[in-house]
Amino acid sequence: MADWDWTTPHKCPICGKNFWVTSKTGWSYKRKSSQGLVFMCSWSCLLKFDEKAEKERFEKAVRRKKKNAQHGNGNCGR
């Protein structure tokens, strides 16, 4: 954690607001993602981030289910 610089502002991925994260471990509005830790500026932005992630997971599951259904009935083109 020696490379943490709290003086550099972060940009909220939801609203675009610049804000300062004073403690990497103590900041409540964060989530793990494929890019690492993502910090949000507020509770409302965190909720929007979670809703978007849930929607993406649901859509991915629907696509997977459709793909598996095609393989099961012989319509996959293999």
Number of domains, the chain: 1
Q: Measured between alpha carbons, how far is residue 72 from residues 59, 60, 62, 76 in Å?
A: 20, 18, 15, 8
Assess if residue 47 is contained within a domain: yes
Higher pLDDT, 55 or 78: 55
Give the structural domain span for 24: 10-72
Assess if residue 78 is contained within a domain: no
Assess if residue 35 is contained within a domain: yes
Assess if residue 39 is contained within a domain: yes
Residue-level pLDDT at 78? 54
Residue 45 has pLDDT above 60, yes or no: yes
Residue-level pLDDT at 21? 93
Q: What percentage of residues in the chain have a pLDDT greater than 90?
A: 53
Q: What's the mean pLDDT in 27-36?
A: 91
The answer to whether 53 and 31 have CB atoms below 8 angstroms apart is yes
Assess if residue 1 is contained within a domain: no
Q: What's the mean pLDDT in 29-36?
A: 91
pTM of the model: 0.73
Assess if residue 4 is contained within a domain: no
